[in-house]
Structure 1
Amino acid sequence: MKSIRDVYKIGKGPSSSHTMGPERAARLFLSKYPDAETYRVVLYGSLSKTGRGHGTDRVLYEVLGRERTEVVFSEETPHSLPHPNTLDFFACREGKPYATMRVASIGGGDIRIEGQDAPQEQDEVYPENSFAEIAQFCRWRYISLSEYVELNEGPGIWDFLAEVWQTMKQAVADGLAAEGTLPGGLNVERKAKRLYAQSKENERPQVRELRIVCAYAFAVSEQNADNGTIVTAPTCGSAGVLPAVLLYMQRTHNIPDAQVLRALAVAGLFGALVKRNGSISGAECGCQAEIGTACSMAAAALCALMGLSIEETEYAAEIAMEHHLGLTCDPICGLVQIPCIERNAVAAKRAMDAFNLSGLLCGSRNISFDMVVRTMKETGLHISAKYRETSEGGLAKLYDRRAAN
Structure 2
Amino acid sequence: MRRCRADSSVSGVYVSALDLFSIGIGPSSSHTVGPMRAGRMFVDELAARGLARSVVRLGCTLHGSLGATGVGHGTPDAVIAGLRGLAPESCDPDEVRGLWEALVRGETLSVAGVPMTRHDIVFEPFARGYGHPNALTLIASDDTATLLTRTYLSIGGGFVVEADAGQPVASSEAGRHAAALPAAPHDAPPAVLPARLPRSTYANAAGLLRESAGRSIASVALDDELQMFGPDTVDRGLAAIWAAMSACVEAGLSTRGALPGGLGVVRRAADAHSQLAARSSGSVSADEWVAVYAMAVNEENAAGGRVVTAPTNGAAGVVPAVLYHLVQQGATDAEVRSFLLTASAIGSIVKANASISGAEAGCQGEVGTACAMAAGGLCAVWGGTPEQVENAAEIAMEHHLGLTCDPVGGLVQIPCIERNAVAASTALTAARIALLGDGRHVVSFDTVIETMRQTGNDMSSRYKETSTGGLAVNVPYC
- Common fold: TM-score over 0.5: yes
Q: TM-score range by the shorter chain?
A: over 0.9
Residue equivalent to 1:17: 30
Q: Percent identity?
A: 43
Residue 86 of structure 1 corresponds to 135
Cα separation, 2, equivalents of 1:72 and 1:19 = 16
Distance 1:75 1:235, change over 3 A: closer
Task: Name the counterpart of 1:127.
Answer: 201
Q: How does 1:43-192 map to 2 (within 5 A)?
A: 43-64=62-83, 66-67=109-110, 68-69=115-116, 70-78=120-128, 80-94=129-143, 96-116=145-165, 118=167, 122-123=196-197, 126-139=200-213, 142-154=214-226, 155=231, 156-192=233-269
> What is residue 246 of structure 1 aligned with on the other side?
323
Contact 1:11 1:229 (8 Å CA) reproduced? yes
**Which residue does the alignment assign to 2:59?**
40
2:470 to 379, 394, 400: 394
Instruction: Tell me: CA distance 1:167–1:351, structure 2 relative to 1, closer, same or farther (3 Å).
Output: same
Residue 270 of structure 1: aligned partner = 346
Deviation string 1:110-144 (CA, Å, 9 cap, x unpaired) is 011022264799555532211111211221xx221
Residues 378-401 of structure 1, C-alpha deviations (whole Å, 9 max, x = no match): 11111000000000000000013x
Which residue of 376, 381, 392 corresponds with 2:452? 376
Q: Judging changes above 3 Å, is the alpha-carbon distance between structure 1 residues 205 and 328 closer, same or farther for their aligned structure 2 residues?
A: farther
Aligned mates of 2:406, 2:144 — CA distance in 1: 37
Alpha-carbon RMSD: 2.0
Corresponding letter in the other structure for 1:314: E
The answer to whether structure 1 residue 332 and structure 2 residue 408 are counterparts is yes
Change (3 A) 1:287 1:119: closer
Which of 5, 12, 18 aligns to 1:5? It is: 18
The code of the aligned residue for 2:142 comes to: R
Q: Is the 8 A contact 1:3 1:125 kept in 2?
A: no
Map of 2:310 onto structure 1: 233
Shift of 1:370: 1.2
Counterpart-to-counterpart distance in 2, 1:151 and 1:360: 29
Aligned equivalents of 1:272, 1:278: Cα separation in 2: 10
Quote the residue 2:443 is aligned against.
367
Superposed CA offset, 1:219-258 (max 9, x none): 1111111111111110011111011111112212x12122
**How far off is 1:62 after superposition?**
2.4
CA distance in 1, matches of 2:398, 2:126: 34
Deviation at 1:5, TM superposition (A): 2.4
Identify the residue that residue 100 of structure 2 maps to in structure 1: none
Would you say the 8 A contact 1:214–1:348 is kept in 2? yes
Deviation at 1:147? 1.2
What SS class does the counterpart of residue 372 from structure 1 fall into?
helix
SS at match of 1:31: helix
1:32-70 Cα offsets, whole Å, 9 max, x none, are 223321111111110000000000001122233634331
State how 1:297-308 maps to structure 2 within 5 Å: 297-308=373-384
Deviation at 1:206, TM superposition (A): 6.5
- What TM-score, normalized to structure 2? 0.80
Aligned length: 398
- Separation (CA, whole Å) in 2 of partners of 1:162 and 1:289: 26
Give distance in 1, aligned partners of 2:156 and 2:306.
17
User: Is the contact between residue 66 and residue 125 of structure 2 (CA under 8 Å) also seen in structure 1?
Assistant: no
> For the structure 1 residues 123 and 49, does the alpha-carbon distance in structure 2 shift closer, same or farther, using more than 3 Å as the test?
farther
Unaligned segments of structure 1, at least 5 residues: none
Relative to structure 1, the CA distance from residue 95 to residue 324 in structure 2 (aligned partners, 3 Å threshold; closer, same or farther) is: farther
The alpha carbon displacement at 1:158 in A equals 2.7
Determine the C-alpha separation between the residues in 2 that align with 1:119 and 1:285: 18
What residue identity is the alignment partner of 1:263? F
Deviation digits for residues 309-351 of structure 1, max 9, x if unmatched? 0111000000000000000000001100000011000000000
Secondary structure of 1:198 counterpart: helix
Scaled by the length of structure 1, what TM-score is found?
0.94
- Distance verdict in 2 for CA 1:63–1:134, change over 3 Å: closer
Q: Gaps (5+ residues) in structure 2?
A: 1-12, 47-51, 85-108, 170-194
Distance between the aligned counterparts of 1:3 and 1:202, measured in 2? 40
CA separation in 2, counterparts of 1:384 and 1:207? 40
Q: How many Å apart are 1:203 and its aligned residue?
A: 5.5
Report the Cα distance in structure 2 between the residues aligned to 1:270 and 1:364, rounded to whole angstroms.
18
**Equivalent residue for 1:217, pick from 280, 294, 299:** 294
Q: Secondary structure at the match of 2:212?
A: helix
Q: Structure 2 vs 1, CA of residues 364 and 119 (structure 1 numbering), >3 Å: closer, same or farther?
A: closer
